[in-house]
Structure 1
Amino acid sequence: MTAPEAARPRSRRLPPGPTRSRTPALLASMARDRLAVMTGAALRYGDAVRLPLGPKTLFFFNHPDHAKRVLADNAANYHKGIGLVHARRALGDGLLTSEGELWRAQRKVIQPVFQPKRIARQTAAVAEEAAKLVARLRAREGTGPVDIRGEMTELTLGILGRTLLDADLSAYDSIGESFEVVQDQAIFEMMSLSAVPSWVPLPQQRRFRRARADLERIVAQLAAERAAHPSEDGDDVLSRLIEATGNERDETTRRLRMRDELVTLLLAGHETTASTLSWTFHLLDQHPLVWEKVHAEVVEVLGDRQPTTADVHRLTYTSMVIEEVMRLYPPVWILPRKAQQEDEIGGYHVPAGAEVLICPYTLHRHPEFWPAPDRFDPERFAPGRAGGRHRYSYLPFGAGPRFCVGSSLGLLEATVVTAAVVRELQLAKAPGHVLKPEPMLTLRVQGGLPMTVHTVR
């Protein structure tokens, strides 16, 4: 069968990039600072770069047209790529790593949980959890720095438990630590390309096996409790997964499907929003005039009451701040894909089997599409300012068929929590602490975010 005209390669030209002799240095740089490698490659070679990494050659594309081609126009040709494939050994075949019919079936099961009307009904639950956070933080005023990244992780896990599972995850004390270990293992698998056998008794591998067993135990308990006490409407993730796997004859397969889906959903769901909120409070501390505008808007819109869904839509400037935070520090910093058939992108040949990278972190700082790209400027997202901006120059939640299923809940959480905290508290970076981005499964703050708490007078 002849390939469609849009998909047929016309060029055999390969993108520029470092020579293969640079592979050892490049591998060392990737292990040390992946963001610097991607940023430097784009600056030196342009919007299309070929990066030789040992047995692999990465094709890094950094133009909105390239992103559109890979993620949307020819998405069927690009399956999950380097890193995520290897993370499967840690995460299993959940929505993040699966492909084909399995992915479509999983998406069909999960999608209704994120319908706009259902998410809108979660505003009260999110606001209640945000109020609890504010109370916890206020109790720490004057006691020294608080790890805001840790607080955001606890908060977002609690919110996901209530909104997606209709369950209280605070009863599982080890869940946050176990997720941390699983994420560390996923990154280890990604960086080592799964070259280290899982049976090798490294301390990290032993910790991972214990963490995975702990999460399997938690998932089994959650499923058993839901089966014994069904929810009233049955529209939460647990209920839908129990129904979807109910006809699976093999108990092991059914258990693994439940585990993979819930672990992936909870890990990706809480980690992305926790990272966004951490960067938000850091940037608000660094830009006091922006903080004042957010505070004024929240007081004007909400007064001293909890937000409703209608209120969230009126927090215009607060939403602009969140969007700008995600531009500078996109929760999903890289989108790896693997070409199933050869293709042409930006005039360059992409061989079948090539590992292709789209990097929102560098794309969001492309000077052709973002003036003064390193400056924190929420006004970029003011109503009417997006006119003429390339749709694919801003990809905080990806694009195309794989667009993040939980984006609406993530935005709701980030907006409500930011409003709740800024209305009553100011968070200030601990003196002497230097922040550094850590590109893991999400772009999080490395080593935590110590900040002091101050009540707004």
Structure 2
Amino acid sequence: MTTTETTRSATDLAPGPRGGLQAWRNLRRFQEDAPSYFLELQRTYGDMVRLPLGFFTVHLPFSPDAVRHVLQAANGNYRRGKGYDFFKIYMGTGLLTTDGEEWKARRMVVNPLFHRRAIEGMSDAMVSATSRVLDTWAARAAGGTTTLDVIPESMHITLDALGSAMFDRDLEPDHPRIGPAMDQAIEAMVFRGEPRQLMPAWMPFGYQRRVARTRADLYDIVGDIVRAHREGEHADRTDLVALLLAAQGSDDGPDLGDDDVRDELMTIFMAGHETSGTGIAWTLAELARHPEVQERAHQEIETVLAGRAPGLDDLAALPYLKQLVDESLRLHPPIWVFPRDAVADDVVGGHRVPAGESVFLTPFVTHRMPDLWPDPERFDPDRFAPGQEEKLPRFAYFPFGGGQRKCVGWMMALQQSYLTVAMVLQRFRLGTALGFDDGLATLVSLRPPAGLRLSVTPRNR
């Protein structure tokens, strides 16, 4: 820490670094590596920290009870707030950025696609998308070993599966446009306190022009999807687009305009594959770093599947596969922080949170608290062996958030992860490549700035 002095002007406020000029030093630390900085704050000040960041103040509750209070017990007092303003650049007023009755009405429209039975029906699309990408790995390996960055590879899988399941669209031809546009978008949607992010969108600077151009590219792709549905090309499908378009003509649901339909599609389109892909990539990286875990999982998969593609009915017989995915999400939750703003004064973790100030709930830190997770940096899937998770307090583990605003796609993300990881281990042996780096960059999801490069060797059957 730059300083260990705590705020003492009000005894009911949580401890933490000083404000004033120190707040700008805090902001710099936040910009450099926020997750590691928050972890350091928890180790220094305890389970509730008050952190001045430039012109703003955020409160960091880390204990499971405090997290439960904000996400569940007092959820009516907390809104998405300032932390989500920059998501509106691309997602407008969709599920991720709205609150209150407007959010509830929109959630009711899309709910049918996120029920368990509907998600189970997406498994064929998930398996097919994974198979296509793994075929390219096999071709690149050509009987030997190749190296690749598994982050874009995993996102390729999740994007294609999402396109098929949610939009009835083969997004493969759109990848050359989607990739660069997404890279710009995930940079723009996370506020780092940079001056260029605070300048009006109409100003003719390079950053503003790039944001406008990539938004137009993504809007164009989503617009094509909507036009195809309006013209009847997908009349026999009940996908996300069909549900939203049907809601436009319904008296029972929200009054959705064309921009509202676009915003909801953009939300699912962007959030639905980026975080899932990152989560899968981290799981593959942990398997590469822990060959004993990799081989134990491979043996389980071989015993159950005997070389065939996995199906949903197989997952119950693959408990260790589920454990290692859960453990990877503990160490590397793709959504590393959930921001909220307090509507009225509140008390969280025994300390006052004034109305209008922000609360950052941080699974990256809570998942590393030693009193909850002994030897917390160690990758150990047996933490999630049957019966173990029930011993933990509620919200000791919350990679998908919690309460009524828990990620709507959490079951879809887990199902995709289980199926994809199983298929990778069936066909390939993973290792860490020269120059492997798992440092952190806080984009929309938590990932290394240099990617996750692994060695990939086909398994000889």
Tell me, yes or no, whether TM beats 0.5. yes
Paired residues of 1:87 and 1:190 also in contact (CA < 8 A): no
Q: Is the 8 A contact 1:12 1:349 kept in 2?
A: no
2:109 corresponds in structure 1 to 109
Which deviations, in whole Å up to 9, do the C-alpha atoms of 1:66-115 show, x marking residues without a partner? 00000000101000133212332343111111112221121111111011
Match of 2:157 in 1: 155
Contact 1:436 1:446 in 2 (8 A): yes
Conserved 8 A contact 1:320-1:378: yes
Q: Is 2:409 the counterpart of 1:406? A: yes
Q: Is the 8 A contact 1:334 1:361 kept in 2?
A: yes
Q: Does 1:418 pair with 2:421?
A: yes
Q: Decide whether the 8 Å contact of 2:86 with 2:191 is kept in 1.
A: no
Superposed displacement of residue 284, structure 1: 0.4
2:437 paired with 1:430? no
CA distance in 1, matches of 2:247, 2:181: 26
Distance across 2 between alignment mates of 1:170 and 1:31: 34
- Partner SS for 2:198: coil
Q: Secondary structure at the match of 1:356?
A: strand
- Deviation of 1:433 after TM superposition, in Å, equals 2.8
User: Equivalent residue of 2:407, what SS?
Assistant: coil
Give the 4+ runs in structure 1 shifted more than 3 A: 188-194, 230-234
Query: What is the Cα deviation at residue 200 of structure 1?
Result: 2.6
Partner of 2:54: 54
- Could you tell me how far 1:230 is from its partner in structure 2? 5.2
Q: Give how far 1:12 is off.
A: 6.9
Question: What is the aligned partner in structure 1 of residue 28 from structure 2?
Answer: 28
Q: 1:145 aligns to what SS in structure 2?
A: strand
Percent of aligned pairs with the same amino acid: 35
- Stretch moving more, 177-186 or 315-324: 177-186
Structure 1 runs not aligned, ≥5 long: 1-10
Residues 1:344 and 2:343 aligned together: no
1:187·1:441 contact (CA, 8 Å) conserved in 2? yes
| Distance in 2 between residues matched to 1:267 and 1:221, nearest whole Å | 16
What value does the CA root-mean-square deviation take over the aligned residues? 2.0
Whole-Å separation in 2 of the counterparts to 1:295 and 1:366: 30
Change (3 A) 1:34 1:218: same
Which residues of 2 match residues 437-452 of structure 1 at below 5 A?
437-452=440-455
Q: 1:96 — aligned with what?
A: 96
Distance 1:281 1:43, change over 3 A: same
| TM, length-normalised to structure 2 | 0.92
Give unmatched runs, 5+ long, in structure 2.
1-9
What displacement does 1:52 show?
0.7
1:17 aligned partner, one-letter code: G
User: CA contact under 8 A between 2:33 and 2:440: conserved in structure 1?
Assistant: no
2:180 equivalent to 1:177: yes
**CA contact 1:147–1:451 (8 Å) conserved in 2:** yes
Offset from partner CA, 1:414-448 (integer Å, 9 cap, x none): 00000001111012222123221222211123232
- How far apart, in 2, do the equivalents of 1:369 and 1:218 lie? 45
Q: Does structure 2 conserve the Cα–Cα contact (< 8 Å) formed by 1:18 and 1:51? A: yes
| Change in 2 beyond 3 A, CA 1:233/1:72 | farther
The size of the alignment, in residue pairs, is: 444
Letter in structure 1 aligned against 2:421:
T
Q: 1:380 to 1:294 in 2, by over 3 A?
A: same
Quote the offset at 1:326 in angstroms: 0.2
Query: Contact 1:331–1:442 (CA<8 Å) still a contact in 2?
Result: yes
Map of 1:13 onto structure 2: 12
CA distance in 2, matches of 1:298, 1:204: 47
Q: SS at the partner of 1:140?
A: helix
C-alpha distance in 1 between matches for 2:71 and 2:347: 14
Pair 1:69–1:413, CA change in 2 (3 A): same
Distance in 1 separating the partners of 2:328 and 2:196: 31
Alignment of 1:223-302 (within 5 A): 223-229=226-232, 231=234, 234-246=237-249, 254-302=257-305
State the 1:192 CA deviation.
5.8
Q: Is 1:39 equivalent to 2:42 in the alignment?
A: no
SS of equivalent to 1:146: strand
State the shift of 1:144 in Å. 4.3
Whole-angstrom CA distance in 2 between matches of 1:384 and 1:45: 32
